[in-house]
Amino acid sequence: MAEDASFTPPAPQRRGRALGWLAGVAVVYLVALWYLDRDKNVLSRLGELGGPLLLCAGAVLASYGFRYQRWHMLVRAQGHPLASWWSGLGAYLAGFAFTASPGKAGELLRIRYFSRLGVPPRTTLTTFVYERALDLLVITLMATGAARLVPLFGVLTGLVLAVVAGICLLACWPALQQLARVVIARLPVQRLRQLCGFLLDGVCALQPLLRPRLALTSAIHGAAAWLLTSAAFAWLCHSLGIDLAWQHAVAIYPLAMLVGALSFVPGGVGTTEAAIVVMLASVGAGVDVALTAAIGIRLASLWLAVLVGMLAMAVLEARPSH
């Protein structure tokens, strides 16, 4: 199969629909926040946390440096080095514009902008799949410190390991790849067949990235990024007067993100916040304060990422493509 022959970048009208869908998610989130604020005074509490929230945002922005360094390294490992470290930063950040999507699939917007830098769509997809799978493993390991706070943690861990194992098997076992192609060919809808075929091509190209040294280095970058965000969450909890044991401080936010990811709700919106509230309440925090912490960290992480992505996308779209 010719590389990426079946793939075309998203048309402007599709990106417009995606923007409309994202705006709808944001509106629902704001309406829910307004509704909760009637009795919980979440907004007034957040208004008193300007300094801590800025520090949280700074930690999250710093985490993007580790994430992009990993991306830059993985693209180079597939034979497509970028001209410089900075050349692809805008393209990487633009992917966050649609991070509030199931499985963060909206981040594949990066295909459009990395293609301008000479990176084939399949390489971007393969890097995305590798990054997502590795992050699942990293946050599951970090989340073990709060395992007792979620009765179904064993089930979540099993799902993560099954997904990652399935991806690795597909990447390394040609017979399984052939079977997957047969199954995809029998799907009833052509666009679904094209999408699944493209995703399978990305997974099948993973094998060069499964080298132990590269995987370890990538995992360290991912862990550094997640630790920064967990530290931001712990600081926000401290600012709200919530005392957390160190293992809970490190683990609660990654575990909540894992719950949100496996819920397949776009961006984990609602499910991640609910998981944070439940876990903080179980360690003695009041529900109102726990809700403030949950919404605060999501504003400084998910919605900050969307804002950064939108700004990066606007800058890149303003530039003439070559």
pTM passes above 0.75? yes
100 within 8 A of 306, measured Cβ to Cβ: yes
Say yes or no to pLDDT of 179 above 70: yes
Burial class (CB in 10 A: 0-12, 13-18, 19+), 318: exposed
- pLDDT digit string (tens) for 16-31? 555 665 666 666 666 6
Lowest-pLDDT range, 55-64, 101-110, 122-131, 303-312?
Answer: 101-110
| Rounded average pLDDT over 305-322 | 86
Q: Are 280 and 293 in contact (CB under 8 A)?
A: yes
Per residue in 1-56, pLDDT tens? Answer: 444 444 444 444 455 555 665 666 666 666 666 666 666 667 667 778 889 999 99
> What is the pLDDT at residue 73?
96
Query: What phi, psi does 207 have (nearest 5°)?
Result: -50, -40
Distances (CA, A) of 103 to 61, 100, 188, 260, 279: 21, 9, 24, 9, 23
What distances in angstroms separate CA 225 from CA 4, 44, 176, 187, 266, one per listed residue? 31, 30, 33, 38, 22
Average pLDDT value for the chain: 86
